[in-house]
Amino acid sequence: MERKQFELGDIVQMKKVHPCGSNEMIVIRMGMDIRMKCAGCGHSILLPRAKFEKNMKKVIGKSELTDGWKED
């Protein structure tokens, strides 16, 4: 299976819809775990990379709003 390509600041579409109704997430931190922020409600979610790659459908765009989100 092809490995999914994504990078920091990418807006990705997930297979699973967030309770707020949005399935778009923005990647805000990459490592062993991927931290992403829901584009709908702003909630941040931490997922192991394997799970993230499984749940991610595709990259749909780029966000330029990651600067202020690097660390909590």
Residue 18 lies near Zn ion (rule: CB under 5 A):
yes
Closest approach, Cβ 8 to Zn ion, in A, equals 20
**Which pair of structure tokens corresponds to residue 64?**
């330029």
Neighbours of 60 (CB within 10 A): 13
Closest approach, Cβ 24 to Zn ion, in A, equals 9
Instruction: Enumerate the β-bridge partners of residue 12.
Output: 25, 59
**Which pair of structure tokens corresponds to residue 65?**
């709003």
Residue 29 lies near Zn ion (rule: CB under 5 A):
no
Residue 4 lies near Zn ion (rule: CB under 5 A):
no
Look-up: residue for tokens 């941040």?
Answer: 44
- Which parts of this chain interact with Zn ion (CB under 5 A)? 18, 20, 22, 38, 40-41, 43
